[in-house]
Every structure is written in C-alpha cells, then in structure tokens.
Structure 1
C-alpha cells in the first residue's frame, strides 16, 4: 500500500463522527464504572460473543480477523467486547486516565493502599469533568487502535492503545513516567517485602486516606500476591495450557481471554489471591492456533507452545510492572504491555515462516 493510500485509509478509519462519539461514551462509561469493573464486562462480553459464534458455527477462521478501526470480527465480540462499548483501549484506558485525573484533583479518598491514581477498581461516578476525561481518552484509544490496525503494525492494536494511553495520561496530568527507583535496582521488590516506606516529606511519599496523611510503601507491586518470579512463571504455565486447550478445542483465540478477564470480577470484589491471567491466555491461545494453522485440534506441540507463551506472557508482565508500575503513581497496565510484546513475537514467527499464520495478529 502506498503512503498516500495508507494515509487515506487511516483517515477513513478515524474520521467517522459516529464512532468517535461512541468512543467518547465508552471512555466516559469506563470512568463511571471504574477501569477494572469495565474490563470485567469486557470478559463477559467476549464469553457471550464467542459462545454465540460457536453456537452458530461462526467462529472466525484464522487470519480473517480485522483488528482495524471497526474492531475484531463481527457480532458481540467485535462490536461490543472489543468495540467502542467495552473495548479495553476505550473503556479501561479511559477509566485509568480518569482515575489519574480524579486523584490529581483530590476527588478520590477511598482508603486505597497505594496512590489513589492506581485505584482502578473504584467507580468514579458522575462528575462531569471526570467523565469528560474518560471520554477524551476513549477517543484517543480508538484513534491509536484504528491507526495501528489500519497500518497493520505487528502486535495487538488494542493492547498498544492501552499502553500508549497510560503513557499519555501520565504526561498530560504531570505524573512521572517511571517514578523514583528505590532498593537495589528497578526490578527489586525487596523494599515491598521489607515494608519499607517512602520519605514522608516527599510529594510522592504520602497519600490521603480518610482525610489523614499516610506514608506510602517504597515500592508498590501491581499484585502483592503475584510478583515472585517462580509463582508468576507457574501460573503462566497453567494459564497458558488452559488457553491452549480452550483454543484448540473450540477454534476461538479469544474465549480463554474472556474467561480470564471475567474472573477479575472476584478480584474487584476483594477476594484474596485471585490471579490475573488474560496476558497469559490470549498469547497462548493465539500461538496454539498459529502452530496448527488455525485448525482446532489438540496436539502435544501446540500445547507446549501454548505453555511457553503463557509463561512468556506472565514473565513479560512482571518485568513491565516492576519497571513502569511499582515506582510510579498511576496505573500502567502490565497485561496490556505483555500482550503487545507476545503478539509481536507471534507476528515475527509468522513472518519468518515458523508459524504458518499469525491468526488474528496483523503482520504488516
């Protein structure tokens, strides 16, 4: 595609006023519900959409899914779960940005253990300015996804939008991109384990809790129950195998992702020890189908590859949380970044001929 034709296609993808308005509404709704609750609904909608496709015998064949401006495939999965209603690039990213804004404005005082800007389980209600911020970041997520999908950049266009939206909200609202590193290095979670605190006199060292000023932990892991390397690798292997067998028995690259996302409802409700696994199951499911050329058939090689990608997704997410989440003040989504990295791996393996297809991942 020539540069002129590519530019025209991008303009066509992002210049639909109706979809821009829908993206604004989706981002604002994500802010109202809270980023994490909105993402839980993404999971439920994926399950509903893939179940409907399976019932109708209409699971999309490998390589035929378009993650461009309109979303993924058709029906509930594409138009609702990954569209402008509950697409993570819109509702989740908009909710996370709105939390960063609301914390900066002093609206959030929920007694959260970390900085309130990281409090993505919290619903932000109906404050007009907060909803506007969510809506504007919903539009940003829509535009990034449309551009990435239209150009065919070799990764998940939705996940890259979640990542870039987080970078944008930190820059726009005056938060540090990484934050001050404490301990023996950027990957060190020792200060958390020792319950070391940040200096109370620093602007990043204190937070408001019930009207009182409280010190913050020196490092704040994304998941206090899911950060040790061995534990993360093990849950990655388990989730990867589950993602693989789900994809290989149904033909759906997205069903296991939906199950993982929906399971976060329990995390949002405060159930202890719930693992976060959607960045493990999605790459694993996709890689398993890439091995078989999209054929839904359980085999040892495909299952091993699924397990490898599950572990890779888990460990990649852990690296990202230690670099971009633990020292900073707002939510930066480790699963989204891990999905970007691992779908890039899948695209590259397809481009060089190791995989016969990249399934739904664009390959330029």
Structure 2
C-alpha cells in the first residue's frame, strides 16, 4: 500500500512546508493548482492536480501540515518563534535542523494517515481530515493548552473576579458579513464548477488569493467556502444548493476557529476542519 519513494518524497514535502512556512506552501498549492486546472480544461491529464497539488510536494496534508507542526515545535519546544500558531513565517529563520526535521516527519505522517483514510474509503475529503488530524497531533505533542485552548482573562480583564463568557459564535454583524460573502462566492463558484466540472477550481483560486494575507492585508480564507460549494454543485447539479453549503461553510468555519484556535499555542486549521465535516455530509447524502 505504501511506496518508499512516496514516503521519502513526503518527507521532502514536509521539509519544504517547514522551510518556507505553512501558509506560503499552501499559497503555492493554489497557484500550481490553477496550472493543473488549466491543463485539465485543455483536455490534458490530471497529473499536476493529483500528484503535485494534492500529492507529496504541495499537498496540504504534507507541506502545509508539516509547516504547522514545525511552527508548533519551534515556538513551544525551542523558543525560536513567538507563537506556535504562526503559519506565515518561513522557518528558515530558526536555522535549526530539528525544526525542519519535524516538518519532514509530519510530512510522512500526512502521507501515511491520508493513505489509511483513503484505503478504508472514508466518505469525506481525506486530505482535509488528515490536515485536521495532523494539527490535533501537533497540539497534543508540542502544545500545552489542550484541544480547545486554555481560556484565561489575563491581559484582557485585569483583576477580574470572574472570567467573561467565552464566545464560540461571532456577533450578528460579523455573521451577516460572513454569510453574505459566502453566498456570493458560493453562487459564482457553483456556477463555474457546474460549467467546467472541475470541483477544485474555486479552491485553487481561493488558495492563491491568500498571498494577500501573507503580504499583511486583512484577507479572509475562503477555500473552505469555494471547495464545499464545488462539491455540492458537482453532486447535485444545482448552484443554489452549492451556494447554501457555501454559507453553511463560512459560518461553521467561524465557529470552528473560535473553538479550536482561541487561547491556544498551536494551529488547528479551521477551513480544513470545516471541509471534512461538510464534505462528509455531501458525500454521504448527495
């Protein structure tokens, strides 16, 4: 089931993700994915998408997950990074072989875990599920705040006798904003995916757009919205169902982010978590 060549390649992919940083690696996933989409749209093979974009070089379960784990290790075990949740910083700055070695090890883990999930035909996006699994493993191995974070009012409510209530759901204004842009993205991506029958088209565009977040602009992640919309549109042939799932995805991701990535010291990816949950529902029922 496992190939030594692929295991070694996954080790290299994980090192790449650690060296250049988790988010930069994921951004390249988007750009190279757009090349793969263009090849498919021109009648060519899916090799670039299957073996490069979602394979050992740039697969999020390998390169991105390796970068996430390496950042957690660099910050929490070596004190070489300000935050274990920092997925933007290239870890070349640490000049530490152990940091990128962790990236390589988690690259192998990503390949093995995803292969196991795929071998038992789990009805979900196994790459997204692997990214979530890898993030949880990294938190328990390198983090100190537990799965749901260690809630403290220190620095927020000084000398308070009681902690303010932790919020897992955004306020109505934020929810309305997220729901509206999710709807818009869901409608346009569902239409284009139904037209081209390439369900990762929106995902690749969204991943590439995160280059603006890397530059420091307030750019939201949207790949969970566009990929789930694509899955639903392909499954049903109905762009309105695709748009509905896009809205659900946008809102769910906000809740997941507050649940797993608040008051914590490592990164568990909210978009990947959202994708595997909603793709499970789509694959099972649609």
**How many residues align structurally?**
274
Contact 2:139/2:267, CA 8 A, preserved across alignment: no
Structure 2 residue 244 is matched with structure 1 residue 308: yes
Contact 1:34/1:95, CA 8 A, preserved across alignment: yes
Separation of aligned partners in 2, 1:43 and 1:198: 43
Superposition deviation, residue 182 in structure 1: 5.2
Superposition deviation, residue 238 in structure 1: 1.5
Structure 2 residue 160 is matched with structure 1 residue 166: no
Unaligned runs of 5+ in 2: 160-164
Contact 1:178/1:323, CA 8 A, preserved across alignment: yes
Superposition deviation, residue 290 in structure 1: 0.8
Counterpart position of 1:5: none
Separation of aligned partners in 2, 1:321 and 1:197: 22
Counterpart position of 1:136: 105
Counterpart position of 1:71: none
Separation of aligned partners in 1, 2:125 and 2:72: 24
Counterpart position of 1:196: 156
Whichever of the two has the greater Rg, that structure is 1
Superposition deviation, residue 310 in structure 1: 0.4
Counterpart position of 2:187: 241
Q: Which structure is higher in helix share?
A: 2
Separation of aligned partners in 1, 2:67 and 2:189: 27
Counterpart position of 2:162: none
Structure 2 residue 171 is matched with structure 1 residue 261: no
Structure 2 residue 53 is matched with structure 1 residue 107: no
Structure 2 residue 266 is matched with structure 1 residue 330: yes
Contact 1:243/1:257, CA 8 A, preserved across alignment: no
Separation of aligned partners in 2, 1:46 and 1:122: 22
Superposition deviation, residue 244 in structure 1: 0.3
Superposition deviation, residue 198 in structure 1: 7.8
Runs of 4+ in 1 over 4 A off after TM superposition: 218-221
Q: 1:46 to 1:220 in 2, by over 3 A?
A: farther
Separation of aligned partners in 1, 2:158 and 2:261: 15
TM-score relative to the length of structure 2: 0.90
TM-score relative to the length of structure 1: 0.71
Q: What pairs up with 1:285-300 in 2 under 5 angstroms?
A: 285-292=230-237
Counterpart position of 1:186: none
Superposition deviation, residue 144 in structure 1: 1.1
Q: Partner of 2:210: helix, strand, or coil? A: helix
